[in-house]
Amino acid sequence: ADALPSHIVPAKVYSKARVPAKCELVRVGYGGRNGVNRLFYSSPLFLQQSDDIRTIISQDSTAVLGDSGGGLFFKGSLDEEMQLLAIHSTFEAPNVVFSVFVPQYMEWISVWKQVWKYQKESLHTAVDETL
């Protein structure tokens, strides 16, 4: 198994089906600002969760191209740790950002992890047989 280096600790994934209307969000991106890609944090305003609960819609005037793929994190209260809520995806209108709600895709992620593991094992077997 490929273990992560000990200094890397994955974020806990938010596990509830709905996001509370009042919540603190932190968005992390690595898009181009002033001609340079740089790590950037913002505190977008939660607007709504789509009816099919697959998308988080937030207001964020600081999002730029290249931020896609960065995390949108949720913090319920001061004593709670940040949890991965969504993945920044696209802009729909000025200051409006759509993010993919991770809990809705955990089963899909799980299936693809197994597929990747199988492909990797098959590749290692094929390489070993040719040596």
> What pLDDT, in 10s, does the model give residues 14-71?
888 888 888 889 999 888 888 888 888 889 999 999 888 889 999 988 888 788 888 9
CATH of segment(s) 12-104: 2.40.10.10
Strands 96-101 and 12-13: unpaired
The closest alpha carbon to 45, from 27, 32, 30, belongs to: 27
pTM above 0.85, yes or no: no
Where along the chain do its domains lie? 12-104
Strands 83-93 and 12-13: parallel
The closest alpha carbon to 81, from 24, 20, 29, 19, belongs to: 24
The pLDDT of residue 127 is above 70: no
Longest dimension (CA), the chain: 59
